[in-house]
Amino acid sequence: MKNSFLFGMMIALLGASLLISLALGRYEIDLSTLTQLLLWKLLNIGTAPKEVMLLSNIVFDIRLPRILAVILVGAALSVSGGAFQAMFVNPLVSPGILGVLAGASFGAALGIMVSNSWFGVQLFSFAFGFVAVLVALGVAKIYGRSGSQTILLVLGGVISSSLFSALLSVVKYVADPYNKLPTIVYWLMGSFSAVDMKTLSSVAMPLIFSTIMLSLMGKYLNVLSLGDDDAKALGVRVTWVRNSAILLATLLSTLTVVVAGMIGWVGLIIPHIARFLVGADNRVLLPMCALLGATFLIIVDTLCRTSMSVEIPIGIATSLIGIPIFVFALRNAKKGFA
């Protein structure tokens, strides 16, 4: 009862932020004109507003793809963060735990250095995100059977993250400082400004699919968060469940880097706020993470592109806004991350 009310509220909030974000920008559109345009374009109701060509160009070609990407990335980061936290039974885990973000960043930087096409950069980023996770899993596998799988995975992730961070530094060091290096640095700060319909259409399906699949795995993640022995004794194939969840979460977080570069903090703080709202049950928590993450990122991205005359890199903004929120959320740490 309480939950369905909360979900209703969140969906309304997401819709509202979507509308407001569509209206705001260098060329401001008032909400009544925007509504008129949307009704006319999408549902064929009413009449076309004045300057309809210009307006549709701004709304449908420029702002909408970007905002849809923001929604997907916000949801993806938060759901993968929430899933990783459940899997590793640790509320301080973020999507980067297995090195995926470091790997994808290295891949992107390498791609910027060696390739001239945007698609090449995205491909490199995607590939190395997965390579980094494989390195982490490989390290954990070497010492496989003895001890706790989770701790080995975390250590594998630490090793993999460090490795790819070091490799990233190498790429930065050798990259052409006038041409390539600024692009790399800017990419690493995260931005949605390069998103177009083509990028969006190629990543949308896997992002939506993985977000939904991971949310549906909620009850297995619940059991995993009791620890491996408990979960196995309850009849759950722990390794299989964990590997599927890792695969899906890796797909999600790699794709966010492909779309928008490095965006920190979202995957760490949103699950906390969601847990505060709906409790720890992952069947409810993960969908709530998706809604909250999407809304949070729309708000931050809108601030990034409207508050100053130049666009603020979103990775910086999420950190600056995220830190106070996280400090506030830490109050709940005493209560066991309620």
Partner 1 sequence: MSFYSAKNLHFSYNSTPILKGVDLHIDEGSIVSLLGPNGTGKSTLMKLFLGLLSPKSGEVLLKGKALQSYSIKERALHVSYVPQSTQVAFAFCALDIVVMGRIAFESWFQKPSKTDRDLARAAMERLGILHLEKRTFQTLSGGEKQLVLIARSLAQGAKILVMDEPVSGLDYGNQLRLLETIMKLSKEGYTFLKSTHFPEHALMLGGYTYALKNGHILAHGLTCKTITQELINELYHTNIELKQTVCGYPVCIPSFAQHTN
Indicate which single residue of 14, 79, 133, 223 sits in contact with partner 1 (rule: CB under 8 A). 223
Q: Which of 9, 114, 226, 320 binds partner 1 (CB under 8 A)?
A: 226
How would you label 89-122 residue by residue, b for 16+ Cβ within 10 Å and e otherwise? eebebbbbbbbbbbbbbbbbbbbbbeeeeeeebb
Question: 91, 129, 157, 287: which one contacts partner 1 (CB under 8 A)?
Answer: 91
Q: Measure the CA–CA gap between 83 and 104, rounded to whole angstroms.
A: 19
Helix (H, G, I), strand (E, B) or coil at 336: coil
C-alpha span between 330 and 327 (Å, rounded): 5
Q: Find the shortest distance in angstroms from Cβ 207 to partner 1.
A: 19
Q: How many CB atoms lie within 10 A of CB 305?
A: 20
Among the listed residues 319, 211, 306, 200, the one whose alpha carbon sits nearest the alpha carbon of residue 260 = 200
**Binding of partner 1 at residue 287 (CB under 8 A)?**
no
Q: Which of 14, 72, 236, 312 binds partner 1 (CB under 8 A)?
A: 236
From candidates 201, 237, 243, 320, binder to partner 1 by CB under 8 A: 237
We find the least distance from the C-beta atom of residue 149 to partner 1, in angstroms, to be 12
* Contact status: 225 vs partner 1 (CB under 8 A): yes
Q: Which is nearer to partner 1, 186 or 276 (CB)?
A: 276
User: 46: left (phi > 0), else alpha (psi -120 to 50), else beta?
Assistant: left
**Residue 84 sits in the site that holds partner 1 (CB under 8 A):** no
Considering only residues 40, 130, 186, 337, which one is a binding residue for partner 1 as defined by CB under 8 A? 337
Output 1 or 336, the one with its CB closest to partner 1.
336
Angle at 201 between CA 197 and CA 203, to 5 degrees: 120
Can you tell me which of 84, 126, 220, 265 binds partner 1, judged by CB under 8 A?
220
Q: How far is the CB of 60 from partner 1 (least distance, A)?
A: 35
166 binds partner 1 (CB under 8 A): no
Smallest separation, CB 223 to partner 1 (Å): 5
- Our CB check for partner 1 shows the closer of 331 and 335 to be 335
Select from 2-10, 98-106, 257-265, 329-337 the region that touches partner 1 (CB under 8 A).
329-337
**242 touches partner 1 by CB under 8 A:** no
Distances (CA, A) of 98 to 25, 155, 156, 200, 332: 37, 9, 7, 25, 26
Cα 9 to Cα 219: distance, rounded to the nearest angstrom: 24
Cβ-based nearer residue to partner 1, 31 or 92: 92
CB of 228 to partner 1, least distance (A): 8
Residue-wise DSSP of 216-281: HTHHHHHHHTT-HHHHHHTT--HHHHHHHHHHHHHHHHHHHHHHH----SHHHHHHHHHHHHH-S-
- Which backbone phi and psi does 276 adopt, to 5 degrees? -60, -35
Residue with smaller CB distance to partner 1, 220 or 265: 220
Among 7, 25, 141, 281, binds partner 1 (CB under 8 A): 281
Show the CA angle centred on residue 312, arms to residues 311 and 316, nearest 5°: 160
Show the tokens assigned to 148: 């706790």
Q: Which residues bind partner 1 (CB under 8 A)?
A: 86, 89-91, 146, 216, 219-220, 222-223, 225-227, 229-230, 232-237, 275, 279-281, 283, 335-338
